[in-house]
């Protein structure tokens, strides 16, 4: 009987494709914001998650909540967007997503598929009267864990362009990490990364300055 129970548990864990359980306990412990609390959720993948590890100063002493999960793609984020972002009752949600889709982490994706998922998250937040900040995908020249990604440079350019257009059309907020972090090859500047994809501490310091500047604007947190 014990073996049967263990098998069922393992199957349930493996079926949590979007990793809904990853932040479940922390979300419950966090609770709802205080009356005057301006809560900001950062939704993303490993680039967001590791931000809290490599440069924790960015989150320290602020109402910034990190809800990144390493390796995730936009369809996974869309599934967990309500429990991990909307249900935390933030004033602002910052979405940084899409690079793992390009790398094919959960299968082939088109530009349209990726942007549809990002825009769906944005529209869910808007429906709950939450301010949406959409971030550009960081530059990547080559994904070191895959060999068959065709022209990531143009795909990233296309997605970032579509995000910027969407933001302008919807009156949202655009967070441009790309322009400050790109090198001459359209990759991530070597000073800001150790693998060409993920920021190091220096990279996160640049991202933190950009994010803080945008978030502090009156039109974001009024």
Q: What is the mean pLDDT of the chain?
A: 92
pLDDT band, residue 15 (cuts 50/70/90): confident
CB 158 within 8 A of CB 101: no
Domain range summary for the chain, segments of one domain joined by +: 38-215
Question: Looking at the predicted structure, is the pLDDT value of residue 5 above 60?
Answer: no
What pTM did the predictor assign? 0.91
d(CA 25, CA 39) in angstroms, rounded, equals 18
Span between the terminal Cα atoms of the chain, in Å: 57
**Which CATH superfamily is 38-215 part of?**
SGNH hydrolase (3.40.50.1110)
Any idea which residue has 């602020």 for tokens?
62
Query: pLDDT tens for residues 103-122?
Result: 999 999 999 999 999 999 99
Is residue 3's pLDDT more than 80? no
Contacting residues for 145 by C-beta, under 8 A, at least 6 apart: 103
Identify the CA nearest to 66 among candidates 89, 46, 82, 36.
46
Which pLDDT score is estimated for 205?
Answer: 98
For residue 211, the model assigns a pLDDT of 97
Does residue 70 contact residue 45 with C-beta atoms inside 8 Å? yes
Q: Render pLDDT for 168-180 as a digit per residue (tens, 0 to 9).
A: 999 999 999 999 9
Confidence category of residue 60, pLDDT binned at 50, 70, 90: very high
Least confident stretch, 75-84, 99-108, 143-152, 164-173? 143-152
């Amino acid at each position: 009987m014990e073996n049967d129970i263990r098998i069922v548990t393992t199957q349930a864990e493996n079926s949590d494709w979007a990793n809904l359980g990853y932040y479940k306990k922390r979300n419950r412990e966090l609770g709802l914001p205080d009356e005057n609390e301006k809560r900001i959720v950062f939704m993303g993948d490993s680039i967001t998650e590791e931000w809290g590890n490599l440069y924790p100063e960015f989150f320290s002493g602020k109402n910034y909540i990190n809800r990144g999960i390493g390796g995730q793609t936009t369809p996974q984020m869309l599934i967990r967007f309500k429990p991990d972002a909307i249900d935390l009752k933030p004033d602002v949600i910052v979405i940084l997503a899409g690079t793992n889709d390009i790398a094919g982490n959960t299968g082939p994706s088109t530009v349209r598929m990726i942007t549809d998922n990002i825009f769906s998250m944005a529209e869910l937040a808007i429906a709950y009267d939450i301010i949406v900040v959409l971030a550009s995908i960081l530059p990547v020249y080559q994904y070191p864990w895959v060999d068959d990604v065709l022209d990531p440079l143009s795909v990233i350019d296309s997605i970032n362009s579509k995000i910027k257009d969407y933001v302008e059309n919807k009156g949202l907020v655009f967070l441009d990490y790309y322009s400050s972090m790109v090198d001459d090859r359209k990759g991530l500047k070597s000073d800001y990364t150790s693998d060409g994809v993920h920021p190091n501490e220096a990279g996160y310091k640049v991202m933190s300055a950009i994010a803080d500047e945008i978030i502090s604007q009156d039109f974001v947190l009024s």
